[in-house]
Structure 1
Amino acid sequence: MKNQQTTTSSQKVLVSGATGTVGRQVVAELLARGHAVRALTRDADKARAVLPESVEIAVGDLTDPDSLATALEGVTGLHLITFGGAAFAPLETGPRILELAAKAGVRRVTVLHGGEDTPLERAVKESEGLDWTVVMPVEFMSNALEWAPGIRTDDEIREPFADRLSAMVHEGDIGAVAAVALTEEGHGGQSYVVTGPEVLTLHDKIATLGAARGREIRLVELTEEEAVGQWRTAGLDEYVIGFLLEAYGNTPEVGRTVADTVERVTGRPARTFARWAADHADAFRA
């Protein structure tokens, strides 16, 4: 059941990572709920090219907190990511960012969990005077787009661990949970695991994508060694390869267990992979 202690008046929220997969959804959800959005970006031209015209653009960099002073003026909510800069290194600037946010009058902060313990997330949890919420999504449905080239050209997916399980989540639902936490009461001090409404195997995902595009897709199951070779050829570094082997070969319980967070926080059911696949079917068609 959706939290009933809500704040319904229009607010302005500063969104970092606003051009990313989740950031765009946070922006879209805030706008749909009638709130004003200011997008924090290092590249104003890129942001203007991909974000709605109604979004205000502010240039700043999370690695340089003092560059955020103007961007923080007049906002009540702040959405943060845990990595920054050209190299997307873990941010060490959390304490200063939060100090500036509190000074500017920010009331609520959400942080998108980066998959591991990070300095910025720790700083958010240790902050005083701010209602913070950690948004912890499992596997994104949009990760399926990585298969699109192989499906378009060869009608196949080449992957290891065919029986792996995932409660994968629609990126729009991640954005919706963040938007509610940024603008409504009752979510301070919470860490929300965000999943989809069902647990899927790789076979389930492939069948769903095939139905959406109107053409079957073959699964070529790779050994671990073959998968590592494929990922290295694709340019992935060894850290990412190690992460994928662990995530796919030994998926933690949290990644394969449905949570009711989306419905409990937003008041509507989480979106299915079938819906995501139908919305993105053209990406998988030749």
Structure 2
Amino acid sequence: MTFLVTTVTANAPVGRFIVEHLLDLGRKVRTLSLDPASANLPPADILAGDLGDARGIKAALHGVEAVFLPAVVRGFAKTFLAAAREAGVRRIVFQSSGAVGQDNRIGAIHAGLEQQIRASGLEWTFLRLAIGSGDPLQWAFDVPGQLAAGDVVRGPYARAATSPVHPADLAAAVVACLTAPEHAGQIYDVTGPASLTHAEQITLIGQVLGRPLTYEELEPPVARRAISPHAPADVLFADWEEHLDVPAHLTATLQHLIDRPLHSPTAWAADLASRLRSAGAW
């Protein structure tokens, strides 16, 4: 049995951990990346390709039984799903969004993708990652760039709580869903194991780095203008405002799917700091 792991970016940590885990289990793994030359992935059958490229997808899917799809943009589904059926793929594990069911564009996009996957006739499992569990503060406000410039991170709502997920834990859940048939047809709501405010996250990262990091609040209108050109500000701000001085919603999904203890918040911060160092953020 061969598994196909697709990655949105070359250095996506979840994809790397999925590949490592499958290889450790002795499984055959193929990866599809837009930029294999710079992919931070273990030794595997790494192919260059795009999910919407019919020719590349056909080659990538040859002999594959199960596929991991990360949260992706619209436009790939029709081509990819047709190729998957033709190639004999049995199962798709899709990293969807916890915004499904909410009245916003992120929820609508992922709901549409889920519907197309359901209609494909393939087995499927949906892992709906909560909005606040994908480290939105880190990418929406370029925390790596801010840390490269100094010890102050500026963003909105210091007391807004989220539940960051260690990528190795999410990867282990994906592998469980890829390899165990009982997860077919299941929808799992995924969060991290602990509720942490924005300020607490930055403090943890500082402790790991041995730096006196502080979090400085930006006024919401200023922060919204800063990220609106390149991030779904309405969705993020709605989630942050809902959890302002309110603990993040937590689920036991990851622990249910994984047969080991989950990583602690400190381990999450250490992993993030290590990746930022490797990327030359400071």
Find out whether 1:106 has 2:89 as its counterpart.
Answer: yes
* Stretches of structure 1 lacking an aligned partner (at least 5 in a row): 1-10, 84-88
1:274 is matched by which residue type in structure 2? T
Question: Is residue 111–residue 134 contact of structure 1 (8 Å, CA) maintained in 2?
Answer: yes
Paired residues for 1:207-222 under 5 Å = 207-222=203-218
2: CA distance, partners of 1:281 / 1:45 = 24
Find out whether 1:17 has 2:7 as its counterpart.
Answer: yes
Residue 240 (structure 1) aligned to one of 213, 223, 232: 232
Paired residues for 1:50-65 under 5 Å = 50-53=40-43, 55-65=44-54
- CA deviations 1:60-104 (Å, max 9, x no partner) are 322133432221111111112453xxxxx412x424433332332
Change (3 A) 1:98 1:213: same
* Count of aligned pairs: 260
TM, length-normalised to structure 1: 0.79
1: CA distance, partners of 2:227 / 2:80 = 36
1:98 is matched by which residue type in structure 2? L
Q: Which residue of 2 aligns with 1:123?
A: 116
Q: Which residue of 2 aligns with 1:266?
A: 258
1:122 is matched by which residue type in structure 2? Q
1: CA distance, partners of 2:161 / 2:136 = 16
The structural deviation recorded for 1:154 is: 2.6
Residue 134 (structure 2) aligned to one of 140, 145, 148: 140
Q: Which residue of 2 aligns with 1:204?
A: 200
Q: Which residue of 2 aligns with 1:90?
A: 74
* Stretches of structure 2 lacking an aligned partner (at least 5 in a row): 98-105
Question: Is residue 141–residue 171 contact of structure 1 (8 Å, CA) maintained in 2?
Answer: no
What's the % identity of the aligned pairs? 29
Query: Equivalent residue of 1:219, what SS?
Result: strand
Residue 26 (structure 1) aligned to one of 14, 18, 21: 18
1:58 is matched by which residue type in structure 2? L
1:107 is matched by which residue type in structure 2? R
Higher normalized contact order (CA 8 Å, seq sep 6+, divided by chain length): 1
Q: Which residue of 1 aligns with 2:170?
A: 174
TM, length-normalised to structure 2: 0.80
Change (3 A) 1:32 1:137: farther
The structural deviation recorded for 1:196 is: 1.4
2: CA distance, partners of 1:243 / 1:173 = 25
The structural deviation recorded for 1:33 is: 2.4
Question: Is residue 14–residue 77 contact of structure 1 (8 Å, CA) maintained in 2?
Answer: yes
1: CA distance, partners of 2:38 / 2:200 = 36
Question: Is residue 4–residue 29 contact of structure 2 (8 Å, CA) maintained in 1?
Answer: yes
2: CA distance, partners of 1:120 / 1:66 = 21
Change (3 A) 1:97 1:224: same
Q: Which residue of 1 aligns with 2:102?
A: none
1:149 is matched by which residue type in structure 2? G
